[in-house]
Structure 1
Amino acid sequence: MIPHYFLYEEAAPKVEPSFLHIEPIPVRSGRHDWTIRTHSHPDHHQLLAISKGGGEIEIEGQTWELSPPALVIVPALTIHAIRFEPGTDGYVITVAPPFLQAALDGDPELVDGFAAPRRFLPQQIGEDIDLIGLFAALAHEFVWSAPGRRSAIKAYLQLLAVAVRRLRAQEQARPVALARDIETVMRFRELVEKHYRQHPPLDFYARRLGVTTARLNACCRLATGKSSLALINDRLITEAKRNLLYSDMTVNEIGAALGYEDPAYFNRFFARNAGLPPGRFRDSLIPEETRANGSVRRRA
């Protein structure tokens, strides 16, 4: 039998069941070893905002990975379980549908956003919606016994519902928008291929593509899940690894060929992105390659 809770492992509500409850994720998940076992909330919706960490949620037979910033909507009666990474942070809102409807003035466009399980990830949320800021402001009002507290909570709940509605609209428009984004990213990659060794600023690429740096970054995140800078760094790391594996160049020579005048800076850049310094990377992989085909020579 699937257990039903108001709050996880609390059969009876300790706060107004017709109102709303919000708490940081570590408050409850931390003391349960970051695992929320299968359950449902028969009379309440939940909204989860993840600002740090991540994990995965099993919801109605599906498993969704969670990467911050992420928003998850769990409607009432939805069976779900969550496994957070230790140290995950964010907020959980538990809200009664009647209070939600009243707060949203019964606006069907806003209320419908909570009718089905939904997940919004970083590439969807972008930088235009301060999701965590809205949750934090609502949490502040929830614990603050100040005049107008209930009205303030309703106002922030309205703003969250509007954010969800706009995210849904972006989802509906994504097929056409994503095609344009992919084209922009393809042209960006072509420019990176020509210029990555010279390390031009992002504005250099954005101006040639006819977009702002913020728009370029958004296109890259939507199409690849990575920032524009991360894609440039990936190309540099790929070339560095290729030279380390298949050339006779020293580490300093490779760094210089990739536009790094300071060998120490190149070493730090490589270690930060590859997980170990270039010399150790070469030592760990080239002997195996040499055994495989006998064709690779290397120098320190």
Structure 2
Amino acid sequence: MDQQDIHGVELEQMRTELEFTISTIAQLFDEFEPSVFAKPHRVSFNAIIYIAKGQGEHHIDHKLYRYKPGTIMFLSQYQVHHFDYNPDIEGYVASFKDEMLYYGNDDPYESKIKTALENVNCIYDSDEKYSFYFEQLSQEYLNQQDNLSGEIIRSTMRTVMLKTLVRHYQSCLTHQNRSPDALDFMRLRELIESHYNDTRTVADYARMMGKTTKKINQIVKDNTGRTGKELIDDRVMLEAKRLLAYSQYSITNIAVILGFNEATNMTKFFRRHTELTPKEFRELCRHNVAKSY
């Protein structure tokens, strides 16, 4: 890995046929050096962090979240995070790949969970009863008695995600998503994830999906209330902020990574979305004051 890039973390070897692992926060602290947690790192999996006791700060991408008992934090694949070592914290960390949650391509809840996971990072003041689910997940993971354990873990994780993450996300929407194009929207998000540094035009994604630009914009509007261009630009901006905040790449190199012909073009793009230059944003991140940009 390039030493200037963001450090990456892979999911550890699974104990079940599902791509899933869970441990207490204390076990996590025992397993790694404290400096590991303080260094920004990009996860190759999804994760849920449940705080049962203690307070502290956790950075996800370039945003700061102050957690307390009852806080549930969500990390989606490829997000960057870091936090300070605090031995007084109690809770659980569950890590998993997308596939372990869903029942094939026709799962009616897949798009709902994925969309919520991409848009929500933290829920405060969750009900104390949720600690029960994490305790059950941990027990089932550590004490697998038969071939039912994998399905019990999957079902419990789905319950947690639907009762916390998805319900919270839906309550934040100004309109409920009843779009018949939910699967097309999910496919579009996957394409953007794969090609955001190659193209930023709606027309290119329309060609990839065999649809018109008008149809792509309608799909995005029905699912988010926004335009296709805004959705694409949001993903480019997210990666730009990650690299500016956490990598050692020069602004010129970041522009190349993101597919801009010149650094000045990226600067114009970045300023248009934040009213800051990339250099100004990087300086704010170093002083931990870029939370609202």
TM-score normalised by length of structure 2: 0.50
2: CA distance, partners of 1:34 / 1:51: 23
2: CA distance, partners of 1:59 / 1:110: 19
Matched, 1:139 2:142: no
Cα pair 2:22 2:94 within 8 Å, conserved: yes
SS of the equivalent of 2:158 reads helix
Aligned equivalent of 1:130: 129
Matched, 1:40 2:39: no
1: CA distance, partners of 2:29 / 2:84: 9
Matched, 1:150 2:142: no
Matched, 1:50 2:54: no
Matched, 1:121 2:124: yes
Runs of at least 5 residues in structure 1 that lack an aligned partner in the other structure? 8-12, 174-300
1:121-200 aligned at under 5 Å gives the runs 121-122=124-125, 125=126, 127=127, 130-147=129-146, 148-163=148-163, 164-172=165-173
2: CA distance, partners of 1:161 / 1:28: 22
Aligned equivalent of 2:114: 111
* 1:1-30 Cα distance to aligned partner (Å, 9 max, x none): 2111125xxxxx332696101100111224
Structure 2 residue identity aligned to 1:140: Q
Q: How many residues align?
A: 163
Aligned equivalent of 1:2: 6
Cα pair 1:23 1:91 within 8 Å, conserved: yes
Higher helix fraction (1 or 2): 1
Cα pair 1:75 1:114 within 8 Å, conserved: yes
Structure 1 pair 27/88, CA: closer, same or farther in 2 (3 Å)?
same
2: CA distance, partners of 1:105 / 1:121: 28
Question: What is the percentage of aligned positions where both structures have the same residue?
Answer: 15
Runs of at least 5 residues in structure 2 that lack an aligned partner in the other structure? 175-293
Structure 1 outlier segments of 4+, above 4 Å: none
Structure 1 pair 3/18, CA: closer, same or farther in 2 (3 Å)?
farther
Cα pair 1:47 1:92 within 8 Å, conserved: yes
2: CA distance, partners of 1:158 / 1:60: 25
Quick one: higher RCO (CA 8 Å, sep 6+), 1 or 2? 2
1: CA distance, partners of 2:35 / 2:158: 30
- Aligned-pair RMSD on alpha carbons? 2.5
* 1:157-199 Cα distance to aligned partner (Å, 9 max, x none): 11111112122234448xxxxxxxxxxxxxxxxxxxxxxxxxx
Cα pair 1:5 1:40 within 8 Å, conserved: yes
